[in-house]
Every structure is written in structure tokens, then in C-alpha cells.
Amino acid sequence: MHLDRDAPRLFNHTPSYRVAAIRGRGEVMGRPKPISPIRHLTPAQLSQLAERCDYVGSVEHKAARSWLGLPQPRRGRHGETDHKQNATICPLTSDADRLVATGWVREAIRRGQFRNGYWKGDFPRYLWYFDQDGCYWYGFLMNQGAGDDARGQYKGWKISEEEWRETFC
């Protein structure tokens, strides 16, 4: 297994590049280098990009029925749900919640609240949002379409301020 060049894993609170260094897989200093060029987008370009993005969620992060259907949280080796190691549960389950989260994804992109240098096609892979309740949310690009009308589809979950600083600062 090689060093993960993507964003730090947020499930065990230790970035993957640090875990690899701790396990003796090489000397690693600081954050991994971006895997795609830094993009300098104008506010108009960010706004256009944001309109092509949606929050779609994931059944792996749901503990209750949602617009996606029945929940299917990831399970540990012995069948138990282990949120720390597998999937952080997202409390957003209604259609209204999905629309609110889509607004968060779009606003985060308009504000440039993403890790520049980590892109998949036209879309930033990792973004964050700070909501009106004082919670940080992590967004992850799941799918992207092709062509001029491609859409970016994100899932997301709450993170602590410490995780936000470690990942985005």
C-alpha cells in the first residue's frame, strides 16, 4: 500500500500520510503535495461551477430512512456498526435536508472553501462548510458527469473544528 495522496482520512483523526509515516513507510514532512494543478477561478467561474453541483448523500452514512431508501451503514468485522472506523453518520434524511445541503455545497464552492490542487475533472474533490449552528461539514466528490453539462455529486458529514483545521488549514 502506498501513501494516500488524497485528503487525510477523517475517520480515525490521523491523516493517512501521518499514519503511513508512523508505520514506517517513509519519511513524510507536512501535507502531501497537490495531485492536480492549483486553479485560479474568478468569482463568476466559481458561481457557474457551484450551480452544477449537488448534495446526493450516501446510504453508508445514514442511520435512518432517507431519500436514498433504507440505511446501509458500513459494518465492522463482527457485524457491529463502528462509526469511528467506517462511516460517520450524517443526520440529514429528509428532502428538505438534501436541498439545504445542496445549498451548502454550492455556497462552499462559491466561497472557495475547498482544497485547491485536489480536483477530479471540473470539480474540487474536498470542500467544507460552516453552518449557522456552528458545525463544520466535510464534502467529498462522489461522482462527476462528462461533457459540458457535467454535474458534481457530493456526500458529506460533520467534522470537528480540529479535523477541519487539520484538513483545510
Tally the C-alpha atoms within 13 A of residue 78's C-alpha that lie toward its C-beta.
Answer: 1
Model pLDDT, residue 21? 41
Q: How confident is the model at residue 92 (pLDDT cuts 50, 70, 90)?
A: confident
Nearest to 62 by CA among 80, 54, 79, 74: 74
1: which DSSP letter? -
58 CA to centre of own chain: 12
The SS3 assignment for 124 reads: strand
In this prediction, residue 2 has a pLDDT band, given cuts at 50, 70 and 90, of very low
Fill in the amino acid letter for 110: R
Which pLDDT tens digit goes with each residue over 12-62? 344 444 434 444 444 444 455 566 777 889 999 999 999 999 998 887 767
- In the predicted model, is pLDDT for residue 124 greater than 50? yes
Higher-scoring residue by pLDDT: 169, 26: 169
State residue 63 phi and psi, 5-degree precision.
-110, 0
Do you know the residue count of the chain? 169
Burial class (CB in 10 A: 0-12, 13-18, 19+), 80: exposed
Structure confidence at residue 99 (pLDDT): 93
Instruction: Convert the pLDDT of each residue in 141-157 to its tens digit.
Output: 998 877 777 899 999 88
Which is nearest to 117 in space by CA: 5, 37, 49? 37
Tell me the pLDDT tens digit for each residue of 99-123: 999 999 999 999 999 998 899 988 9
- With a CB cutoff of 8 Å and minimum separation 6, the contacts of 112 are 41, 46
pTM: 0.68
Instruction: Please list, in sequence order, all residues whose beta carbon lies within 8 angstroms of the beta carbon of residue 80, skipping any fewer than 6 positions away.
Output: none
Q: Per-residue confidence at 66, pLDDT binned at 50, 70, 90?
A: confident
In whole angstroms, what is the distance from residue 54 CA to residue 108 CA? 12
* pLDDT above 90 as % of the chain: 37
